[in-house]
Structure 1
Amino acid sequence: MTSPNIVVSAKDARKIAMGAFVGTALEWYDYFLFGTAAAIVFNRLYFTDLNPTAALLASFATFGVGFVSRPIGALIFGAIGDRIGRRPALITTIVLIGISTGLIGVLPTFVSIGVAAPIMLAILRLVQGFAVGGEWGGATTMAVEHSPVETRGRYAALVQLGSPVGTILSSAAIALVLLLPPESFDAWGWRLPFLAAFPLLGVALWMRRQMEESPVFLEIEASAEKKPRVPALAVFRRAPGRLLAGIAACMLGVGGFYVMTTLIIAYATTTLGVPREQVVNATLIAAFGQFIALLICGRLVDRFGAPRMTIAGAIITALVAFPVFWLVDTANPVLITLAICLGTMSIDIVYASTGKLLSEMFQPELRYTGVSVSFQFAGAVGGFVPMITTALLAANGNQTWIAAVILIAICAFTAVGGFFGSRMRVQDRVVSAEHAPTAARVDAAS
């Protein structure tokens, strides 16, 4: 593109980033809620005819099913976002996420309707995953394209704050209902956090409708350049190396994170016998640490660059992998809390970098698809990490060095992705109004 620079203001960038963040917070609320429920509820209420280990594996398989549909959502919503607009794609995804999550709250159990119960649970999980497939990539793309190049790290990290905020909301909701007597919790208490998705959807949808279309997309629309008819095919044909590097760079932020949360929750409660509410509280405390870590690391990304921060985060997480599981094996709630905080905050160094790293690897006309497919293909693999690791632990006497080695392997993939990603960057012409007062501005409201 040869037209003048697109000028954006910090005020507009913050507004869009907050709108993207709210929707992403709902996304992660729904996903973390399902992950926690998979560890402490679904294995007992939806797979009751299996032994405890098999039930937990089946529950995690249902959790992982949502990750299978995420790449499909990335392809579909990527096409909508790159051809029709970022905004309509994001409004659609948030509606589907909220509705599918809320419906889980009214789903009958195995005792009520038999095998239809886990099947319906899996279907709702598939819909949820399909919508999430286009949510994160679109939210990140919108935040980045509304931000000046020199501050994209911090605004992309604002979107990532949806992860700890979603964890805080879902963990707090679960912690509250766990205060109920066990029979009340199993009968109806666990449903309340899922039903809360409906009012949260109303708030997120209102904020999404206030978002303006991306100025970068509007410029593509106004230019004479022809957009790819099928963005996904264009990404696979024109940028396969970028796609592979993007998938690798995202592995730790998805697969590694679920090792630190979903896997540890299940292992601590099922194998070590730690009370459920204590482990859920540990994830809640860790989420506050994540919030701070992401804010700090977003600034560091602007200073040192997303590739360097990705590699540094992967190395640091690999170094703490064994200590984290040594702490978990103590079965001491305080040390388990410390372990989850240490692990998740290490991963956040990478997670804060992911949005900027991926957005810089794909041309604007393919960005929504490229970013979404990279992240969600990594998610399709990472979503099954808790199930695979649980199976390996069960087969080897619950020796947690296995989980540590798996985490280190994931770190290696991400470090390689960050290394190659640094050599594939695409520079946009988006600058701040303060630094380019005479540049032509694309009015996002037009």
Structure 2
Amino acid sequence: MSERSGPAGVATVTDAEARKVAFGAFVGTALEWYDFFLYGTAASLVFNRLFFATGDPLVATLAAFASFAVGFAARPLGAVIFGHLGDRIGRKRCLIITVTLIGAVTALIGLLPDYFAIGVAAPILLTLLRLLQGVAVGGEWGGAVTLAVEHAPPERRGRYAAMPQIGSPIGTLLSSGAFLAVSTLPPEAFDSWGWRLPFLAAFPLLGVALWLRRRLEESPLFAQLLEEDERASSPVRQVLATAWPQLLVGAGTALLGVGGFYLITTFVISYGTSTLGMPRWLLLTATLVAAAVEILVLILGGRLAERYGPARVTVAGAAGSALVAFPAFWMIDTTAALAVVTGVTVVTALLSVPYAVSGALLTELFPPHLRYSGVALSANIAGVASGFVPLAATALLALGGGSSVLPTLLLVGISLVTGGCGLAAPRLFAGRDRVTTAGATTA
């Protein structure tokens, strides 16, 4: 046990423990986003044809994206359930439950018969599994970030809060890479069993995540709240009653990192293959390159948050995303391989700047006894809106007669919302915690 007492009875943990916790949070969120992004890619390439089979490809794609959005709609329920439990019984216990549920549901999707085998039961069961996945994800990220930050020295919170965020591009690399590999199979093999392999891979990944999660220590701050009996009796209700401005501003700052990402990946994969006629491998390759660059951006973003503050970094990333939105879509519309990869990568890199500092910013908005609930609810309010972004972009594409102008304006609008909320955030920060790390002092 690396936790010990510091000055004036303040609990401390070693920096080595902080790194271990941040790594454990990262592995869990990597599995979370692998599973979640896997569904988004499959919605574009598989579910529209095999589970939502209709005579109209546009209607089938809209139905598949609607089931994708269901997972996001369920995330606030997960935030309420696990936010309450995380602020009452502990961060670590909840994170073990959420990662188990995410992995199990994803593997079950890989075993589910399609529409041509069991008829209408197939899309219904798929949507129900997606809903369960959304509930689990609703409690996962907020807990992972909270645990990482509460083990981190105040002066290094930016980098530790960015660690769970790196799980997003790693999850993208794994999911897109898995689909890229199976997409080389003959069409008949891909449709019958090939697409299932990436989902079934969730079983061994879950085993690794559980092993790491069980070795983590509980948050020293939560242990202190227990000792001093300072837990909120109803944290979710208290957040809604007393911290709703932080809730709305926090959700706005998180919108671009999630919603913008799904627009430039999930929607663009569908747009590129269905409307522009590009091969699947090109769009998946663009996503892979963008995810690799995103890892570097997230690491840099964590350092920038420590130097300039997460709110300023959020505003800068949002402004950059708005500025490059049209040039990036112009490059995608050329269908030239290098231009497509460049366009997707540039936008992903810029919208990843606010995402890199989202954990640091959200945890500053809420006091310790409401933190798990507040962070989870903020992130998942943004998640609900984000889940409908591919659906909205597809509808706007149809409204614009196949032109990318309206979907691009949607990306600009999301960027402006995040930038505006980033400007408002510093006025709502809750202040520093009393718990620190060995060698660090409280403010």
TM-score by length of 1: 0.96
Q: 1:121 aligns with which of 100, 106, 126?
A: 126
User: What is the one-letter code of the residue matched to 1:85?
Assistant: G
Which residue number in structure 2 is paired with residue 385 of structure 1?
Answer: 389
Which residue number in structure 2 is paired with residue 347 of structure 1? 351
Letter in 2 for 1:231: P
What residue ranges of structure 1 are gaps of 5+ in the alignment? Answer: 440-446
Between the aligned partners of 2:349 and 2:10, the Cα distance in structure 1 is: 36
**SS across alignment from 2:74:** helix
- 1:16-415 alignment to 2 at 5 Å? 16-225=21-230, 227-415=231-419
Q: Take 1:191 and 1:3, find their aligned partners in 2: how far apart are those partners?
A: 55
Instruction: Name the counterpart of 2:436.
Output: 431
Give the Cα separation in 1 of the matches to 2:183 and 2:253.
36
How far has the Cα of 1:296 moved from its partner?
1.1
Is the 8 Å Cα contact of residues 151 and 436 (structure 2) preserved in structure 1?
no
Distance 1:260 1:81 in 2: 33
Offset at residue 3 of structure 1 (A): 5.6
Q: Is the 8 A contact 1:45 1:111 kept in 2?
A: yes
Q: Distance in 1 between matches of 2:264 and 2:130?
A: 21
Tell me, in whole angstroms, the C-alpha distance in 2 between the residues paired with 1:278 and 1:410.
26
Which amino acid letter does the alignment assign opposite residue 341 of structure 1?
T
Are the aligned partners of 2:321 and 2:347 in contact in 1 as well (CA < 8 Å)?
yes
SS at match of 1:7: strand
Q: For 1:158 and 1:165, how far apart are their aligned partners in 2? A: 11
> Is the 2:153–2:440 contact (alpha carbons within 8 Å) kept by the matching residues of 1?
no
User: Take 1:125 and 1:3, find their aligned partners in 2: how far apart are those partners?
Assistant: 48
Deviations 1:91-119 (A, max 9, x none): 00000000000000010000001111000
**How far, CA to CA, are the matches of 1:224 and 1:162 in structure 2?**
34
Aligned pair count reads 435
* 1-structure distance, mates of 2:330, 2:124: 37
**Structure 2 CA distance for partners of 1:3 and 1:240, relative to 1, 3 Å:** farther
Distance 1:62 1:218 in 2: 39
State how far apart, in whole Å, the 2-side matches of 1:419 and 1:403 are.
25
- Which residue does 2:3 correspond to in 1? none
The residue matched to 1:422 in structure 2 has which SS? helix
Once superposed, which parts of structure 1, at least 4 consecutive aligned residues long, lie more than 3 Å away? 2-6
Contact in 1 for aligned 2:236/2:373 (Cα 8 Å) = yes
CA RMSD of aligned residues (A): 1.2
Q: 5+ residue gaps in structure 2?
A: 1-6
Q: 1:316-340: per-residue Cα shift (whole Å, max 9, x none)?
A: 1000111111011111122111111
C-alpha distance in structure 2 between counterparts of 1:268 and 1:288, whole Å: 20
* CA-CA distance at 1:229 after TM superposition: 2.0
Aligned to 2:4: none
Letter in 1 for 2:146: T
Q: Any idea what SS the aligned residue of 1:368 has? A: helix
Structure-1 separation of matches of 2:272 and 2:321 = 20
Tell me the distance in 1 between the aligned counterparts of 2:173 and 2:423: 32
Which has the higher mean CA deviation after the structures are superposed, 65-74 or 389-398? 389-398
Give, as a single letter, the amino acid of the residue that structure 1 aligns with 2:81: I
Q: Distance between the aligned counterparts of 1:345 and 1:6, measured in 2?
A: 37
Using structure 2 for the length normalisation, give the TM-score.
Answer: 0.96
Output the amino acid matched with 1:339. G
Counterpart Cα distance in 1 of 2:55 and 2:393:
19
In 2, distance between residues paired with 1:366 and 1:328? Answer: 43
- What amino acid maps onto 1:349 in structure 2? V
Q: CA distance change for structure 1 residues 242 and 314 in 2, over 3 Å: closer, same or farther?
A: same
CA-CA distance at 1:42 after TM superposition: 0.5
Give the deviation of 1:398 after TM superposition: 1.5
SS at match of 1:47: coil
Cα shift at 1:281? 1.3
Query: Which residue in 2 is equivalent to 1:444?
Result: none
My pick for the range that moved more, 59-68 or 45-54, is 45-54
Shift of residue 417 of structure 1?
A: 1.6
Q: Is 1:149–1:430's contact at 8 Å kept on the other side of the alignment?
A: no
For the residue of structure 1 that corresponds to 2:12, the secondary structure is strand
Q: CA offsets, 1:351-399, max 9 Å, x none?
A: 0110000000001010000000000011001110110110111121112
Q: CA deviation at 1:52?
A: 0.5
Deviation string 1:385-422 (CA, Å, 9 cap, x unpaired) is 11011011112111211111111111111112212211
